[in-house]
Structure 1
Amino acid sequence: MQQTPILLYDIDGTLLNVHREFILGIIERELSRYNIEKPDANTRSFAGRTDRGIFMELIGDVPNAQELLNTLMDKYAEAMARHLTREFIQLHNGAFESVEEAVSLDIPVGLCTGNVRAVAMEKVKTAGFPDTFKFGGFGEVSEDRNELPGEADREYKSLFSDRPEPGRYVIIGDTPNDIRCAKHFGAKSVAVTTGGFSEKELATHKPDLVISSLHNPKGWLKELGFKNFS
């Protein structure tokens, strides 16, 4: 009998978007507290990157960069918890339905996101998702997104007696980096066009499947070879 898949959702561009102006405002305020000049963040793309890598780039070459990085990530999470409200969030097509249907099918649901854990949880909570995401790989771990699926796997195994092979994981994201990290770990990859990349651009990176919305997870799981969800 085929084993149950384990879904790892990206957040930004996949489940939802937080308004860019809101995010940049918080980042700029936190940088200014430490007299760090904003290095033109408006022109940079943060898609598919980890918070650790983003903040390291924004900090630049300064004394005690590692200590400052950890402080800034903590302060950023605190500011998000204080100021993020539903009005700053845009949910993507099929996001709620996808997660709800997966849960109804007893499919384990986690996160694989460049956000630090506290910010990730604040975003999904504020967006209105139920307390569903119990494990994941998060952006404080590494500047390299390829490290995140392994972290999600370790967290999953720490919570459950199940010992899945990498091929049972399905990483769902909207950027080439989501596809790359899935391939690096040996997971299946579902690329969704709700972010800034087109179907053609995503297909270039050879995901297992490209979809236009998160609706009907039973359908795309069947296409991935999980026949018990047909």
Structure 2
Amino acid sequence: MIERDLEGWTLAFDLDGTLVETHEDLVGTLNRMLVLNGLPPAPMDGARNLIGGGARALLVHGFELAGAPVEAANDPALFDAFIADYIDHIADHSRPFEGVVETLETLAARGATLIVVTNKRSDLSELLLGKIDLTKHFAAIVGPDRVSQRKPSGAHVIEAIRSVGGDPARAVMVGDAAPDIDCARDAGIPSIGVSFGYTPVPIEDLEPDVIVDAFEDIEEAVDMIVVEHYVTRALAGA
């Protein structure tokens, strides 16, 4: 029987680029919007690291790559068309990264409470996670519309943790980009950075507490953070 040694800990995961490889579907929608506006599509691999900022930022980057005026990318009708198209194609190619399901199952079996903390709209996040059968692993899916401030504000992760009865003093944030690591830092909680996600800045430069190169390595990284937490408390006489 697995020991429930992570009871009382909340593990918060970013979605795009951390739990799920989503870039093909997001860039696919971007390219359909560009073509509809008479612009060339963005290269699939070249646009990979443009994803982390959300749909509006992705549209702006796409117009910039095409050499078009970025003002056109801010058209509300274009944004609405982007969202409608993305909903239709949200899980055409998106899949969990290798090791995600097994690692989430193990962490939950050890007693951890798992949540999603994402800047993707909550309804879109729930739709995506439902289609790829990941919803059941999480106690909450918390997009920016369910908190007072979005990442990189620490309020996002703190409010998400508290929404499931968790304690921010016993929590870890896992993510792939600056909004995630900065959010954790602002909240005063440790962070794990994944090297396989979507970031224009090398994950090392973001200075998370631990960096992993594969999702299955997150369990060991969590263990390191938990041990350090209890050692620090013991040394402080807490």
- The alignment status of 1:82 with 2:88, answered yes or no, reads yes
Letter in 1 for 2:226: G
TM-score (norm 2): 0.69
Any idea what SS the aligned residue of 1:194 has? Answer: coil
**Which is worse superposed, 220-229 or 118-127?**
220-229
Q: 1:217 to 1:32 in 2, by over 3 A?
A: closer
5+ long unaligned stretches in structure 1: none
**Residue 9 of structure 1 contacts residue 171 of structure 1 at CA under 8 Å; is this kept in 2?**
yes
Question: How many correspondences in the alignment?
Answer: 216
Which residue of the partner structure matches residue 220 of structure 1?
221
**Which is worse superposed, 185-194 or 169-178?**
169-178
CA distance in 2, matches of 1:97, 1:228: 25
Trace 1:20-59 onto structure 2 (pairs within 5 A). 20=24, 22-29=25-32, 42=43, 44=47, 45-55=49-59
TM-score (norm 1): 0.71
| TM-superposed deviation, 1:100 | 1.2
CA distance in 1, matches of 2:218, 2:192: 11
CA distance in 1, matches of 2:226, 2:161: 22
Of 126, 129, 143 in structure 2, the residue corresponding to residue 124 of structure 1 is 129
Which residue of the partner structure matches residue 153 of structure 1?
158
**Which is worse superposed, 149-158 or 106-115?**
149-158
Deviations 1:8-62 (A, max 9, x none): 1112221121243x323323545787xx676975565424323354457769446
Q: 1:137 to 1:92 in 2, by over 3 A?
A: same
Which residue of the partner structure matches residue 196 of structure 2?
194
Q: 1:54 to 1:101 in 2, by over 3 A?
A: same
CA distance in 1, matches of 2:42, 2:184: 28
CA distance in 2, matches of 1:195, 1:5: 24
CA distance in 2, matches of 1:124, 1:93: 15
Which residue of the partner structure matches residue 103 of structure 2?
98
% of aligned pairs identical?
17
Q: 1:100 to 1:215 in 2, by over 3 A?
A: same
Q: 1:3 to 1:134 in 2, by over 3 A?
A: closer
**Which is worse superposed, 94-103 or 215-224?**
215-224
Of 160, 164, 167 in structure 2, the residue corresponding to residue 164 of structure 1 is 167
Of 22, 38, 63 in structure 2, the residue corresponding to residue 18 of structure 1 is 22
Any idea what SS the aligned residue of 2:215 has? Answer: coil
Instruction: Say what the alpha-carbon RMSD is for the aligned residues.
Output: 4.0
Bigger radius of gyration among the two: 2
**Residue 191 of structure 1 contacts residue 202 of structure 1 at CA under 8 Å; is this kept in 2?**
yes
Letter in 2 for 1:82: D
Any idea what SS the aligned residue of 1:46 has? Answer: helix
- The alignment status of 1:207 with 2:212, answered yes or no, reads no
Q: 1:204 to 1:132 in 2, by over 3 A?
A: same
Letter in 1 for 2:204: A
